[in-house]
Structure 1
Amino acid sequence: MDSVTQAALGAAVSGVIAGRRCSPKVLLAGALLGTLPDLDVVIDYGDPVANTVNHRGFSHSLFVLPPLGVAIAALWWRLSDKTWPLWQLMVLVVSVLVTHPLLDAMTAYGTQLFWPLDKPPVAVASIFIIDPLYTLPLLIGVLAALVWRTNAARLCVVGLIASTLYLLSSVYQLEQIKARVAQQTQGTELAGKPMFITPTPFNTVLWRIVVRGEQTYWEGLASRLDKTPEIDWMAFEQQGWPLAESESLTALRFFARDFLRYENRGGQQVVTDLRLGMANYRPFQFLLAEQSDQGEWRPVPPRQLEPGPVLPRTIPALWRRLLGDQSIDALLCNQKDCYPNEEQQAKVRSSS
């Protein structure tokens, strides 16, 4: 999640655990601790791919943060006037640090909760990386605690409960969409294929679905406000990788769980993480190989490409789609590729 949300969560958690000891200093300390795991962004791992896949790595590990929290609490207690019980400081610091990656794991980006074990990043993908409806209760509770200090802990409790209920509701919405997608793909060529579902920006009403095939992948949108259960699918050509698999590509495949698109863009081989972004905006696309004048491919140092523009038509179309307008062309297509693989698209419709 974004830094504001993580700071608000850290402050709220610290206020709840502090109880009658809750104060502006405690809330500030909680906010700072809540953003501490994200300081890994200052580490340069050597190239854009490595920086992307290693973010939310060791600094978000459930094997690292608890002992780190105990050490920070012990140092804090040692340097303080020892008016706090050591156990309470330890619970506060560890809780603030651990809730950070647990919340991050609810997004599509994923979090390496079990680093250094060779486990894929955990990505529940039930909430967008920025969601005001999750953040606002936390912020309101913390700000109210700063004003009405006699009830500070209770106000933090209220904010934390409200935000947690919203987070739980996002998981419920995700499960409902999963059931709908399973029903709609039953008996079609999409049935049984790897699938990724995630909310569109700033809400848990409109959801984006990606289905991965060997030579084709499909995208669809489903809103909780749709009047009919049918999902319109757009089929996109999936090109292959022309070289032996590089270290960067292996890392991206692990990070994205193979939800990647391979494209030859005029002699440049671009690999895009399909889980993140939509329409023309793809924030994680990397140039990994180039073609010589003789037609031979060679790997190049990874370079992250511009994510692409957000077209003016996209935002109002997104809002209409959220409200139940089941036309998705304006959202999923770009000017060069507006009706890709019409034959495949017709095949899915005729099978359903």
Structure 2
Amino acid sequence: MDPVTHAASGAALMLALPRRPATRWAIPLAAAVAAMPDLDIVLASGPLQFLQLHRGFTHALLYVPLLALLCTLAARPLWKRTTPGHWSAAGVWLLCCGLLLLHIWLDCITTYGTMIFLPFSAERVRLNAVFIIDLLLTLPLLGAAWYSWRAGRHLPPDPQGGCPSAPRAARLVLVWCLVYPCLAMLCNGWQTRHFREELLREGRQPGQVTVLPDAFAPLFWRAIYEEQQPNGRVIRADGLDILGRIHQRGFPRPALPESLRAALMAQSQTCATFLDFSLLPFCAPLPPDLRPAAPDAAPALNGQQDAATHPQQLRGYLQIVDERFGSSLALVRRIMRLRAGGGGPPFQLWVELGYGPDGRPQLLRQRLRLPDSGRDSGWTRPRVPSPPALLPWCLGLY
């Protein structure tokens, strides 16, 4: 979920309380704590760290009490004795726990995936209920927070010294933050069943089918699915309206072969992280103008001569893209291209492959690109995944 929605949810939660400490920092602090878990991107020095850390340990349920304690220390104006109507430190800690859990909930209902079970599991929870920016969530939160704050200014002073609140609107919008995603999940389930039945009626045999919210959901959805064709497995993404009708047919894209997926994950930590993160990725030849100018020294192929001296036909350049991050709406696609600076999809893995005498693929170089956030690893040599030490394990860096 976007930072504005997170901050607005924190302000709404503070305003939903019957009273609050009489400090001008109360609402800004609540908004900051609600948005705090997304500071994990500051720790990410490159695209690999971004995938490993974003929505990682700062979003894990196990670390909520500890993070809430740090937030409580930073929110000292709320429990400072000189603040009129101040709360106890324990009360502020409970509030911070609630704000962090609200942040985690709002992230889980999107399609990105949130690792709430770290460090025991890197499973990403994605409930596929709302788009990454959802006006049906953000606008009510902003409106309710503004109304409650303005209405509270005209109430009589609180006898206990705190600031009075007009919490009804804020409480209603917090209920909406729970009810609306649940309704969207029900709609998603119906869309998935209806779409699969439509494919079967057409005589097609789809594999995995995943329905995702598109921009302006629940009016628009995207169905991403795989199916077998004579030339191999392909990935399609069809646009759906609220009634389950297809308003845009997706172009078939070659699915990443399972054998190649397994080989890449075994040879590279970067590939393993990206492919664990991705959902129904497709692959395509990397355009010649995006390939490295000349192959430099690379690892040997299965003990043979240096890969740089192998014939060019033994090399292959692929781009692997997660089809999940897109839209069936032309306007939204144009906006996404502008945000990415014309760099294409927001998550891309480029690989340079060589093939030994046995025909098995050997990863020579890789490049992880996140155009939307401006992160690019450049062409690098692969590093074989290894068991993490204690601290990386605690942070979920597998």
**1:235 matched to 2:247:** no
AA aligned opposite 1:93:
C
RMSD over aligned CA atoms reads 3.1
TM-aligned CA deviation for residue 244 of structure 1: 3.3
1:73–1:48 CA distance, 2 compared to 1 (3 A): closer
Asked if the contact 2:222–2:240 (Cα under 8 Å) also holds between the matched residues in 1, the reply is yes
Asked if the contact 2:256–2:281 (Cα under 8 Å) also holds between the matched residues in 1, the reply is no
CA distance in structure 1 between the aligned counterparts of 2:365 and 2:107, rounded to whole angstroms: 32
TM-aligned CA deviation for residue 99 of structure 1: 1.0
Cα displacement string for residues 167-192 of structure 1 (whole angstroms, at most 9, x for unaligned residues)? 2221122122112123223364434x
Q: Percent identity?
A: 23
**1:244 matched to 2:243:** no
1:75–1:30 CA distance, 2 compared to 1 (3 A): closer
Cα displacement string for residues 252-272 of structure 1 (whole angstroms, at most 9, x for unaligned residues)? 221124x21122224532111
AA aligned opposite 1:304:
R
Asked if the contact 1:22–1:152 (Cα under 8 Å) also holds between the matched residues in 2, the reply is no
Asked if the contact 2:215–2:327 (Cα under 8 Å) also holds between the matched residues in 1, the reply is no
Aligned residues: 300
AA aligned opposite 1:264:
P
Asked if the contact 2:40–2:55 (Cα under 8 Å) also holds between the matched residues in 1, the reply is yes
TM-aligned CA deviation for residue 234 of structure 1: 4.3
CA distance in structure 2 between the aligned counterparts of 1:28 and 1:233, rounded to whole angstroms: 44
CA distance in structure 2 between the aligned counterparts of 1:27 and 1:242, rounded to whole angstroms: 48
**1:98 matched to 2:116:** no
The corresponding residue for 1:314 is: none
TM-aligned CA deviation for residue 161 of structure 1: 2.5
TM-aligned CA deviation for residue 203 of structure 1: 2.4
1:53–1:209 CA distance, 2 compared to 1 (3 A): farther
Asked if the contact 1:66–1:98 (Cα under 8 Å) also holds between the matched residues in 2, the reply is no
1:139–1:22 CA distance, 2 compared to 1 (3 A): farther
Larger deviation: 49-58 or 123-132? 49-58
The corresponding residue for 1:272 is: 321
Relative to the length of structure 2, the TM-score reads 0.67
Asked if the contact 2:15–2:149 (Cα under 8 Å) also holds between the matched residues in 1, the reply is no
CA distance in structure 2 between the aligned counterparts of 1:255 and 1:242, rounded to whole angstroms: 13
The corresponding residue for 1:285 is: 348
Asked if the contact 1:49–1:302 (Cα under 8 Å) also holds between the matched residues in 2, the reply is no
Relative to the length of structure 1, the TM-score reads 0.75
**Helix, strand or coil: the match of 2:196?**
helix
Asked if the contact 2:128–2:211 (Cα under 8 Å) also holds between the matched residues in 1, the reply is yes
Matches within 5 A, 1:110-189: 110-149=113-152, 150=155, 151-186=165-200, 188-189=203-204
Asked if the contact 1:15–1:26 (Cα under 8 Å) also holds between the matched residues in 2, the reply is no
Asked if the contact 1:190–1:211 (Cα under 8 Å) also holds between the matched residues in 2, the reply is no
**Helix, strand or coil: the match of 1:204?**
coil
1:158–1:243 CA distance, 2 compared to 1 (3 A): closer
State the structure with more CA Rg.
2
Gaps spanning 5+ residues in structure 1: where? 308-352
Matches within 5 A, 1:71-82: 71-73=70-72, 76=75, 80-81=80-81
Larger deviation: 152-161 or 80-89? 80-89
**Helix, strand or coil: the match of 1:63?**
helix
Cα displacement string for residues 299-347 of structure 1 (whole angstroms, at most 9, x for unaligned residues)? 324231647xxxxxxxxxxxxxxxxxxxxxxxxxxxxxxxxxxxxxxxx
CA distance in structure 2 between the aligned counterparts of 1:222 and 1:79, rounded to whole angstroms: 50
Asked if the contact 2:352–2:365 (Cα under 8 Å) also holds between the matched residues in 1, the reply is yes
**Helix, strand or coil: the match of 1:202?**
coil
1:305–1:143 CA distance, 2 compared to 1 (3 A): closer
CA distance in structure 2 between the aligned counterparts of 1:49 and 1:74, rounded to whole angstroms: 31
TM-aligned CA deviation for residue 67 of structure 1: 2.8
Gaps spanning 5+ residues in structure 2: where? 156-164, 289-315, 334-343, 373-398
**1:262 matched to 2:283:** yes
Matches within 5 A, 1:17-96: 18-21=17-20, 25-45=25-45, 47-73=46-72, 76=75, 80-81=80-81, 83-96=86-99
The corresponding residue for 1:336 is: none
CA distance in structure 1 between the aligned counterparts of 2:97 and 2:237, rounded to whole angstroms: 40
Larger deviation: 111-120 or 156-165? 156-165
